[in-house]
Amino acid sequence: MQEKLILIGNGMAGIRTLEELLKLEPERYQITVFGAEPHPNYNRIMLSPVLAGEKTLNDIILNDRDWYAENHIQLITGDPVVRIDRTRREVVTQSGASAHYDRLLLATGSNPFIIPIPGHDKQGVIGFRDIADVEAMLSAAQTHAKAVVIGGGLLGLEAANGLLKNGMDVTVVHLLDSLMERQLDKPASALLKTSLEERGLHFMMEAQTAEILGDERVTGVRFADGAELAADLVVMAVGIRPNIQLAQAAGIHCERGIVVNDTLQTFDPRVYAVGECVQHRQTCYGLVAPLFDQAKVAANHLANLGIARYEGSVTSTKLKVTGIDLFSVGDFNEAEGDETLVLQDPGAGVYKKLVLRDDKIKGAVLYGDTLDGAWYFQLMREGSSITDFRHTILFGQHDLGDAGHGDETRVAALGNEAEICGCNGVCKGEIVDAIVKKGLFTLEEVRAHTKASSSCGSCTGLVESILASTVGQGYTAAPSKKPLCGCTEYSHDEIIQAIKQHQLKDMDVVRQFCEWKTPDGCATCRPALNYYLLANWPGEYQDDAQSRFINERAHGNIQKDGTYSVVPRMFGGLCSPADLRAIADACEKYDVPEMKVTGGQRIDLFGVKKADLPAMWKDLSTAGLVSGHAYGKALRTVKTCAGKNWCRFGTQDSTGLGVQLEQMTWGSWMPHKFKMAVSGCPRNCAEATIKDFGVVCVDSGYELHVGGNGGIKVRVTDLLCKVETEQQVLEYSAAFIQKYREEARYLERTAPWVERVGLQYVKDALFDQTQREALHERFLYSQQFAQIDPWKERAEGAEKHEFEKIEIAA
Amino acid sequence: MNNWIPIAALHEIPQLGARVVKTDTQDIALFRTKNDQIFAVKDQCPHRQGPLSQGIVHENSVTCPLHNWKIDLTTGEAQGPDEGCVATYSTKVEEGMVYLALDAESGI
Ligand code: SRM
Ligand SMILES: Cc1cc2nc3c(=O)[nH]c(=O)nc-3n(C[C@H](O)[C@H](O)[C@H](O)COP(=O)(O)OP(=O)(O)OC[C@H]3O[C@@H](n4cnc5c(N)ncnc54)[C@H](O)[C@@H]3O)c2cc1C
Ligand code: SF4
Ligand code: FES
């Protein structure tokens, strides 16, 4: 029989514990959750952005009601538990319902502290804790003008910022002489105050509130020195108190919070507690990171595994006011014997301070540039000595100035253990792992898989940088010496080698030879093998449509709604009125919702229904237009500039040369996309120096550049050589392409390929006349079989099944 | 008590490929594996409604073209860490003809 588990408190810590528990022991308990609030579990942290109008309530729901249903959890909302009967093992709610438990989990959070001054119970005096408070503030903002926020800490400032954004005139009243004194030192606090003042907040420092004025509703605030301030809304944000009444009334030992041991057990062994209501080793926490640590441990014990211990947490702080970057951790007010490193750049609004003892970090305050917070935090937790890089530590982990990739390179340099998401305790290694193994491409996917950046969101930038640095390196599932995929132990290089050396010409044969563990391979290896065979045995190997990604199978880019985009080729970016007319006609005929000039100098027709593709292609092909392969690991575009024919600076016919290049190369399949450009002079209007193969015309000939790309990680080309004639340009480009086609790994673009094999290696091959000519020849040979317009073929009926649905009545 | 509807000849569905069957209310993806088993699931990935029929088929699974979720065609369940399920339908092949029964077996 399943045991019964009851959770009191449908909040962040409690539900996280259940999530962890379900991962370990999904079947063990029959679970019931009681929540005082009428909502499913939401991200309380995000109340600040909701108040500021940057998010909606819907955005911040963490577990919707379906989640509870799917996990067979009974959820009772809007009905607080009012009594725990430990002898009968029963809880009783306000409405009189009761339920039995075998184990009980308390996660009742905390309550905002309301200073018990006269008038504190008037209408319009609230805390900042839940959705109801936010709703009250938002509605006050609609009908009233003046707000006073008591408390200049994290919560108070976020409330004040939100109310300000809602058009209220806001004054923050603070007892001490500097804001966020527990998280900031004085200089950082002063910077913060200045920038909040610039936004329009008012401050009254060193002011002690003595009374709330008004009849039924608040009209103002009086201070200890007699001064008064008018107010229609008073938000008290002076601290929180663990919510322990229920536990206390049930006789469970409490001090400031519900006292728990290292397994999150209270003095009653059947009762566990997690979250802000808890006091562990004399500490009560008010941030989610430690609560989530607790949740893991509590779940482990609820699952009867009994191996985890919670030993307390070190926390760091960030402020969620958009546009203000602030980070602090540890003990940042220096004591005797400490040393302080400070970097101050008032012009840029940057302030960084590290407090050191024995060359180890004790605390840090960062204002204006917080990227290295995670790194300092890690050095601090691990007690690392910073002696070796003490003189540069304030500049961050990595030198700046890396062509727009400051963040990314700095993140790339972080170790795998570096914590990225403080809320959920996710470190870099886990994120990278998830991206690589699960093929993640978007922030949302990373959030879904790792939970990084899914709580307060302040690490979003870091997560995006990791995504960029991980995905950007060639978009590949194939780092060196790693198996191609889970189906085999052979690496890309070993497979390429085997195909050449042993003349393997068929996918099944390759799989057999390279000891595949799966009969058909998978979505990663099949496209790779198909490419390798095609590139090595042109004319012999029969392309396998079912091993191609849908874009290459349907010869268009699949859109998020399942329609396709169509991009006809415009050689060298040139087009005629007739081309444009044909495109325009096709657009009208097939109801194309949007046309766009692409970044590749041609026209994209978006939103074409799959079934219309063949007919539309037929029309385009009749007008002489062929596929632009905008969807393929193939030759994409050859961009050109105006060149000698028109431009006053043009040195050669860049347009004509571009057209020739595209005519020679279109239709060829590549390990990855391949782009070219020809610029008529070093002004380089065609951006030839960030292309896979770029030509820059000069008076005396043509500079050839290789291995560049734009995209996620920009790489400027390397100069290959200079040649004198158009014929040489064609020969070198074909030879370069062929070398790349024969040797690079599938999904490795020229930039990472050139970096891996080295420019010299490429030069050695291309400068050797025999090799160059042979490569050139092999390329032209394979083009005989490649330059068949796939659109025309399909317009004439090939692969019909791909485009036609079978219709049935049902 | 299946209501078998004839859909297509087996050879009209490519091996390791799929066809889309359009009914009045929805699209169903009909897959053919390497050893000529036929599976039918709703043509909508449980992740973000990607068209599963456009994915790459391997053994008894398909990989969704949009974000690479892998769906087990026998159960309709997403594999690996991903959680979700797509409705599956019964199929049979008799004398080279593929039949489909439209009462969903599982899923929604
Ligand atoms: C249509 C277009 C945007 C536009 O409207 O301008 C475009 C659209 C897409 N690009 Fe692009 N890229 C387009 C020009 C570019 C350019 C500019 C250029 O070619 O000069 C770049 C930077 C240059 C470069 O590639 O080095 C560019 C860098 C990328 C990248 C990053 C590549 C990299 O190596 O980092 C990707 C991702 C990828 O390929 O995996 C990408 C991928 C995509 C995909 C295919 C995303 C996808 O997988 O679905 C987009 C398809 C949209 C669609 O549904 O049709 N697109 N993309 C451009 C088509 C050009 C064309 O005529 O074929
Ligand atoms: C505006 C705001 C901004 C914040 N920003 C940050 C931040 O940037 N970073 C950060 O780390 N933390 C932040 N926090 C703190 C963080 O939200 C809390 O630490 C966390 O939510 C505490 O989780 P919990 O489960 O202990 O309590 P809660 O999330 O408060 O959950 C407790 C739940 O129990 C319910 N409950 C109480 N008593 C009963 C009862 N008798 N019966 C039934 N239900 C009951 C309550 O209604 C509540 O829903 C912020 C908090 C607020 C309010
Ligand atoms: S930049 Fe390219 S990939 Fe990104 S949204 Fe635009 S078209 Fe799509
Ligand atoms: S829609 Fe199928 S994986 Fe995203």
Write the residue with the smallest CA distance to atom 35 of ligand 2: A9
pLDDT digits (tens, 9 = 90+) for A66-105: 999 999 999 999 999 999 999 999 999 999 999 999 999 9
Give the number of other Cβ atoms within 10 Å of residue B1's Cβ.
4
> Whole-angstrom Cα distance, residue A446 to residue A666?
36
Q: Residue A316: is its pLDDT beyond 90?
A: no
Tell me the sheet residues that pair with B99.
Answer: B6, B92
Q: Encode pLDDT of A359-404 as tens digits.
A: 899 999 999 888 788 778 878 887 888 887 788 888 876 533 233 3
- Per the domain annotation, does B12 fall within a domain? yes
| B108 within some domain | no
CA distance A202 to A287: 27
More confident residue, A461 or A263: A263
**Distant-in-sequence, close-in-space partners of A58: CB < 8 Å, separation ≥ 6:** none
| B87 neighbors B105 (Cβ within 8 angstroms) | yes
Domain with B43, as residue range(s), is 3-102
Q: Cα angle vertex A459, ends A458, A461, to 5°?
A: 105
Nearest to A304 by CA among A272, A275, A277, A259: A272
Share above pLDDT 70 across residues of chain A, in percent, rounded to a whole number = 96
* Ligand 2 center to B43 CA (angstroms): 41
| Structural domain includes residue B78 | yes
Please give the average per-residue pLDDT across A301-315, as a whole number.
87
Give A474's pLDDT tier (boundaries 50, 70, 90).
Answer: very low
ipTM score over 0.95, yes or no: no
Would you place residue A322 in the very low, low, confident or very high pLDDT band (cuts 50, 70, 90)?
A: confident
Pocket of ligand 1 contains residue A715 by CB under 6 Å: no
A115-153, pLDDT tens digit by residue? 999 999 999 999 999 999 999 999 999 999 999 999 999
Ordered structural domains, chain A, with CATH:
3-110+242-302 (3.50.50.60), 125-238 (3.50.50.60), 399-482 (1.10.10.1100), 492-548 (no CATH), 551-627 (3.90.480.10), 635-786 (3.30.413.10)
CA of A690 to the centre of ligand 1 (A): 14
Q: Give, for ligand 2, the residue of A108, A423, A458 to mutate: max count of ligand atoms closer than 8 Å to Cβ.
A: A108
Q: What pLDDT score does A465 carry?
A: 77
Q: Considering every ligand atom shown, identify the ligand nearest to the alpha carbon of residue A559 and give its number.
A: 1
> Is B81 among the domain residues?
yes
Asked whether the whole model's pTM tops 0.80, one would answer no
Q: A273 CA distance to ligand 2 centroid (A)?
A: 14
| A455 compared with A746, residue with greater pLDDT | A746
Percentage above 70 pLDDT, chain B = 93
Nearest of A394, A342, A326, A334 to residue A363 by alpha carbon:
A334
Pocket test for ligand 4, best of B69, B71, B73 (most atoms within 8 A of CB): B69
| Residues in chain A closer than 8 A to B24 (CB atoms) | 809-810
Q: Would you say residue B30 lies in a domain?
A: yes
Q: What Rg do the C-alpha atoms of chain B give, in angstroms?
A: 13
Q: In what order do the strands lie in the sheet with B56-58?
A: B56-58, B61-63, B70-72
What does the alpha-carbon distance between residue A419 and residue A627 come to, in Å, rounded to a whole number?
47
- Does the structure show a pLDDT above 80 at B108? no
For the stretch A518-540, pLDDT in tens is 999 999 999 999 999 999 999 89
* Tens-digit pLDDT profile for residues A706-732: 999 998 778 899 999 999 999 999 999
CB contact under 8 A, B65 and A560: no
User: A315 falls in which pLDDT band (50, 70, 90)?
Assistant: confident
What CATH code is carried by the domain that includes residue B74?
Answer: 2.102.10.10
Structure tokens at A454: 């899914």
Give counts: helices (H), strands (E), chain A: 26, 37
- A434 burial (CB, 10 Å; 0-12 / 13-18 / 19+) is buried
Average per-residue pLDDT for chain A: 90
Strand partners for A674:
A635
State the pLDDT at residue A497: 93
Which residues share a beta bridge with B90? Answer: B101
Which member of B13, B17, B58 has the closest CB to residue A522?
Answer: B58
Q: Are A524 and A563 in contact (CB under 8 A)?
A: no
Average pLDDT of span A578-603: 96
pLDDT of residue A407 exceeding 80: no
How many angstroms separate the CA atoms of A447 and A164, rounded? Answer: 30
Contacts for A722 with CB less than 8 Å, ≥ 6 apart: A698, A700, A701, A702, A703, A704
Which numbered ligand comes closest to the C-alpha of A239?
A: 2
**Could you identify the atom of ligand 2 that is nearest to the CA of residue A112?**
53
Give the confidence band of A480 by pLDDT, cuts at 50, 70, 90.
very low
DSSP, residue by residue, A36-82: SSSS--B-GGGHHHHHTTSS-GGGGBSS-HHHHHHTTEEEEES--EE
- In this predicted model, what pLDDT tens digit does every residue of B66-95 receive, in sequence order? 888 899 999 999 987 678 899 999 999 999
Taking an 8 Å cut-off on Cβ atoms, the answer to whether B21 and A549 are in contact is no
| B62 occurs within a structural domain | yes
CB atoms within 10 A of CB A626: 19
Q: How far is the CA of A266 from the centre of ligand 4 (A)?
A: 44
Residue B58: predicted pLDDT: 94
C-alpha angle with apex B79: B73 to B84, nearest 5 degrees? 85
Nearest-angstrom CA–CA distance, A151 and A238 = 5
> How many independent structural domains does chain B possess?
1
Tell me the shortest Cα–Cα distance from B20 to chain A, in angstroms: 5
* A755 vs B70, higher pLDDT: B70
Q: End-to-end distance of chain B based on CA atoms, in angstroms?
A: 20
Which residue, chain included where needed, has tokens 């370990």?
A24
Q: What is the DSSP string of A348-416?
A: GTEEEEEEEETTEEEEEEEES--TTHHHHHHHHHHT-B-GGGTTTGGG-SS-S-STT-HHHHHHHHS-T
pLDDT, position A64: 93
A602: Cβ below 6 Å to ligand 1?
yes
**Chain center to CA of A401:** 23
Q: How far is CA A462 from the centre of its chain?
A: 8
pLDDT digits (tens, 9 = 90+) for A594-645: 999 999 999 999 999 999 999 999 999 999 999 999 999 999 999 999 999 9
Distance from CA of B86 to the nearest CA of A (A): 15
| A521 inside 8 A of chain B by CB | yes
Share of chain A above pLDDT 90, in %: 71
Total Cβ atoms within 10 A of residue A561: 9
Identify whether B56 is part of a domain: yes
Looking at beta carbons, which residues of chain B come within 8 Å of A801? 12-14, 17, 19
pLDDT at A374: 78
Q: What is Dmax (Cα atoms) for chain B?
A: 39
Q: Is residue B107 part of a domain?
A: no
Average pLDDT over residues A399-412: 46
